[in-house]
Amino acid sequence: SIPVLQAARKGNSLNLLELPEAELEEQFVRGDGPGGQATNKTNNCVVLKHIPSGIVVKCHQTRSVEKNRKIAREILQEKVDLFYKGEESDVYKEKKASEKKKQEKKRRAKENLERKKLFKEMQQLDKK
């Protein structure tokens, strides 16, 4: 199964599918979460739907409607690309590479911890 990704990347270096505006349905709703009156009275949360695939993205990361629209489009573009291309998607490949890098980092940290334990044990044996 292919994982669902929830991230807006900083760079657009990936080769993603284009989303024509005609295939998008956009709504502005009230966001949820902390923010009090600023959140409760403004419709700055963007709900974006890709009609052919049925994928829906909800974005309320900033107080700016324009920024939320841009972020929602980026997230939706990644999800649609992943939906159609599957494991051939650059988004999927990037996620897998990131996971592999994280696992390697954990493995090295564990090895270093083991080395430190052995070193301390050797020091205590030398003291005795």
pLDDT in tens, 46-104: 999 999 999 999 999 988 999 999 999 999 998 998 888 888 888 888 888 999 999 99
Same domain for 51 and 97? no
pLDDT of 32 strictly over 50? yes
Same domain for 45 and 68? yes
Give the pLDDT confidence score for residue 14 in this predicted structure: 65
Residues near 55 by Cβ (< 8 Å), separated by ≥ 6? 49, 76, 79, 80, 83
- Strands of 39-127, DSSP E: 45-50, 55-59
**Residue-range definition of the domain harbouring residue 105:** 89-127
Same domain for 97 and 80? no
Q: How many domains does the chain have?
A: 2
Same domain for 37 and 65? yes
Same domain for 34 and 56? yes
Q: Model pTM? A: 0.65
Same domain for 81 and 93? no
